[in-house]
Amino acid sequence: MKMLINVPETVVADALRGMAACHPELIVDVENRVIVRRDAPVEGKVGLVSGGGSGHEPLHGGFVGSGMLDAACPGEVFTSPVPDQMVRAAAAVDSGKGVLFIIKNYTGDVLNFDMAAELAEDEGIQVAKVLVNDDVAVTDSLYTAGRRGTGATLFVEKIAGAAAAEGAPLERVESIARRVNELSRSFGVALSPCSTPSKGGPTFELPAGELELGVGIHGEPGRERRAMMTSHEIADYAVQVVVEDLRPESPVLLLVNGMGATPQLELYGFAAEVHRALGERQVAVARTLVGNYVTSLDMAGASITLCQVDEDLLRLWDAPVRTAGLRWGA
Amino acid sequence: MKMLINVPETVVADALRGMAACHPELIVDVENRVIVRRDAPVEGKVGLVSGGGSGHEPLHGGFVGSGMLDAACPGEVFTSPVPDQMVRAAAAVDSGKGVLFIIKNYTGDVLNFDMAAELAEDEGIQVAKVLVNDDVAVTDSLYTAGRRGTGATLFVEKIAGAAAAEGAPLERVESIARRVNELSRSFGVALSPCSTPSKGGPTFELPAGELELGVGIHGEPGRERRAMMTSHEIADYAVQVVVEDLRPESPVLLLVNGMGATPQLELYGFAAEVHRALGERQVAVARTLVGNYVTSLDMAGASITLCQVDEDLLRLWDAPVRTAGLRWGA
């Protein structure tokens, strides 16, 4: 498996050096693996911190900037960051108004963020936590007790980030983040496995002519394998399970997310089918975002995330954001 | 080769249906294959039209919007659009101030845009043309007489688009576009071939353990094949040939472009090496853009494009842009 890397051991550090070189608006601590917006702490603002294993870029480092995260902590590929990174991040972004940890539901991440919250509070930083667990595919899978956190993380980080940018206090930023998670559901499919640098090849086998329905963002098994389906059929399947679980009663935000290696030409064709399938189920779409946002290295495939929104959440979604991976109005 | 599609025959139409569903700010004529910004023609503004084979998304359709293109004409995958599309696009965006055709240097595109320019002028539309030919890898390759047009297309479309948005007349928009092309150079590498839907598999062979240096965006042969190189070595090679050819005398815009299937984690690591290699050659970087912008379906690999800028070009680069694929300040 050929990769555009030096050696597997330095992949994360090399990417962080790249972030530093390309984004002068960020402070990237390559040694301690913390990415912080340069103007942090922002006076009077709640700080938002997230993080997780690397390999899902632009999540999370690419979402650091005004209107979204204040800091991100990248772990090794598909491996939780450690509490020390999270405490450093919290200290760097706390203006005295407290810090919200946004945690995808994987056992290692949850344990480490819990420990970091205790350590940060020992240092006098007020910490709230929100767990993202939007993936309807399975419960209690590899790495996770309960549902996995996937695409909804982007919605939580963007919308809670906008609330914080408006000056909302910690309690409200936390409750909005929690609400966005509760109103969000995701489902993903893989057409190919992903390859980690350390392994140097695919992390799982996916036979020719089959796809994995309900795959996780580390290639964890989903609900079932089937003979390859059309974009139309995949959209019907994914939309059906997500809508059945969410039962949206107002318009939704829709993320049509590429897993990393699926061409944008295919992704937009899939987006057309997702819109059709939602329309057939009387689900109105307020906004659609299409692209590679919550990825799994070089996996081919896609996921959809719906987030039911009211006017206030939609306004926060539309608010200006300025990060490497998501930017508008600023 | 598994793809997220219905049938190969409808891939382009399906993607256009997706563009229409996801981007209400665009008018997408799926049947005639023209993507136009909804508010076109913009009074008093020169219209910018581009197009080319599909498979390079977000180029060009993803760059339609305020501050960049007014319309795009997607052809079949890796196949030039036809003059009728370009004439329709020109008619839809012409406010009476004329239209600039931005053409990547491939024989089919050049012939068809030439014919379209004549037809549009017969209809009373003033048309200027600029040819993009920035790829230093080879001259007279498959599909091309002269240098191929690749990553610089993004710089030309963005900067000329900003000039047009400011109200510059056609002559000036054309001369800026021409200047941006003359000041830009690109070089790309492939780690894997790309697969077209119609073929259903790789369009060329690239042996395990080898890479293609100087690959084109349709997988055309480059300068040479070598045993796989590190990110450090690839950056040195690419930067050397680009800098040797451009000899920049002022800071540059840098595009570190993914070919489609290279994870962003690798792309940022590569960007770090490109910055290092430029620094060693005393080339200052004014702005860096990292991501999948001028792609080759599911090809793994990357390209770099440099554009030497002065204060005026940098100001136009920084100006607001609002498209599906590139957006800031608006």
Decide if domain A10-179 falls under CATH 3.40.50.10440: yes
In 3D, which of B262, B120, B89, B109 has the Cα closest to residue B192? B262
Q: Which residues pair with A104 in a beta bridge?
A: A132
Chain A contact for B22 (CB, 8 A cutoff): yes
Pick the CATH number of B10-183 from 3.30.1240.10, 3.40.50.10440, 3.50.50.100, 3.40.50.300: 3.40.50.10440
- Altogether, the residues listed in chain A come to a count of 330
pLDDT tens for A2-17 read 999 999 999 999 999 9
- The answer to whether residue B143 scores a pLDDT higher than 80 is no
DSSP B81: P
**Residue B180's pLDDT is what?**
98
**Catalytic residue chosen out of the listed positions A23, A56, A60, A232:** A56
- In chain A, what are the domain boundaries? 10-179, 184-317
CATH code of B184-317, in short, is 3.30.1180.20
Banded pLDDT at A258 (limits 50, 70, 90): very high
Strand ranges, E, within A55-95: 65-66, 71-77
Q: Tokens in use for B148?
A: 């191929």
A60 assigned to active site: no
Residues of A in contact with B265 (CB under 8 A): 11-12, 15, 54-55, 57, 77, 297
Residues above pLDDT 70, as percent of chain A: 100
Inter-chain residue contact A11 with B264, CB threshold 8 Å: no
**Residue B139's pLDDT is what?**
85
Inter-chain residue contact B297 with A263, CB threshold 8 Å: yes
Banded pLDDT at A276 (limits 50, 70, 90): very high
Chain A contact for B77 (CB, 8 A cutoff): yes
**Residue B233's pLDDT is what?**
98
Query: Which residues of B participate in catalysis according to the annotation?
Result: 56, 218
- The answer to whether residue A140 scores a pLDDT higher than 80 is no
CB-defined contacts A:B, below 8 A: 203
Chain A contact for B328 (CB, 8 A cutoff): yes
- The answer to whether residue A141 scores a pLDDT higher than 80 is no
In 3D, which of B247, B57, B225, B18 has the Cα closest to residue B137? B225
Chain A contact for B191 (CB, 8 A cutoff): yes
pLDDT tens for B176-232 read 999 999 999 999 999 999 999 999 999 999 999 999 999 999 999 899 999 999 999
Average pLDDT over residues A26-50: 98
Q: Which residue has the tokens 């900067």?
A: B159
Chain A contact for B198 (CB, 8 A cutoff): no
A56 assigned to active site: yes
What span, in angstroms and rounded, lies between the C-alpha atoms of B82 and B108?
9
**Residue A2's pLDDT is what?**
95
For B224, phi then psi, to 5°, come to -165, 160
- The answer to whether residue A155 scores a pLDDT higher than 90 is yes
Burial A147-167 (b: 16+ CB within 10 A, else e): bbbbbbbbbbbbbbbbbbbee
